[in-house]
């Protein structure tokens, strides 16, 4: 099964975490063939040249070939490229499993944090673009930990296996 791994990839921390997580997924699910754009040197070697059309065509083709997308949603906003890839996946009915680990989502039952929502500039929670989150939720799920993501992958694979029997 082909999987598209959508993630920010311009800071060293992004590249290292992406590689770490994809390696964990590959070890845990060797039956998955994971496309990670940062491994595609033809379009993502930043010392070379690839124009916007080359990048759009190459990554869109890989999204459309996939049966599943795993998308990292962390950051001050969802990465623009990731949001675009999620839109392509949604339009092609490809399920998306999102990973959103932002620690500010903790404490949803803390009354002080809830009360602060009515005070200007005191929102204690992180905002996630609702349109993009909605596209994921219409045909997938958003998880807050790697362990939950792995459970989601298991459930997806089990469901797909039962459909093919």
Structural domain count, the chain: 1
CATH number of the CATH domain containing 127: 3.40.50.450
Q: What is the pLDDT of residue 78?
A: 95
5's tokens: 């791994």
Pairing of strands 33-35, 68-72: unpaired
**What is the average per-residue pLDDT within 131-152?**
97
* Cα distance between the two ends of the chain: 15
Q: Provide φ and ψ at 140, rounded to 5°.
A: 175, -150
The helix/strand/coil state of 63 is helix
**What percentage of residues in the chain have a pLDDT greater than 70?**
100
Instruction: List the domain range (segments joined by +) for residue 56.
Output: 2-163
Dist CA 6 CA 128 (whole Å): 16
Q: What is the pLDDT of residue 131?
A: 96
72's tokens: 């990292």
Please state the length of the chain: 165
Neighbours of 111 (CB within 10 A): 8
Longest distance between any two alpha carbons in the chain, whole Å: 55
pLDDT digits (tens, 9 = 90+) for 53-76: 999 999 999 999 999 999 999 988
**What is the average per-residue pLDDT within 141-162?**
96
Contact 6, 82 (CB under 8 A): yes
**pTM to 2 decimal places:** 0.92
């Amino acid at each position: 099964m082909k999987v598209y791994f959508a993630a920010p990839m311009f800071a060293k921390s992004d590249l290292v975490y992406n590689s770490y997580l994809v390696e964990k997924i590959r070890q845990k699910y060797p039956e998955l063939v994971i496309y990670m754009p940062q491994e595609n040197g033809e379009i993502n070697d930043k010392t070379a040249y690839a124009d916007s059309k080359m990048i759009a065509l190459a990554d869109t083709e890989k999204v459309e070939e996939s049966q599943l997308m795993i998308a990292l949603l962390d950051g001050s906003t969802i990465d623009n490229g990731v949001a675009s890839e999620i839109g392509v996946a949604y339009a092609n009915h490809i399920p998306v499993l999102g990973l959103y680990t932002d620690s500010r989502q903790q404490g949803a039952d803390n009354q002080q944090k809830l009360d602060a929502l009515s005070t200007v500039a005191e929102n204690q929670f992180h905002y996630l673009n609702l349109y993009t989150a909605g596209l994921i939720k219409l045909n997938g799920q958003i998880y807050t930990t790697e362990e939950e993501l792995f459970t989601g992958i298991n459930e997806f694979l089990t469901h797909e296996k039962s459909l093919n029997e």
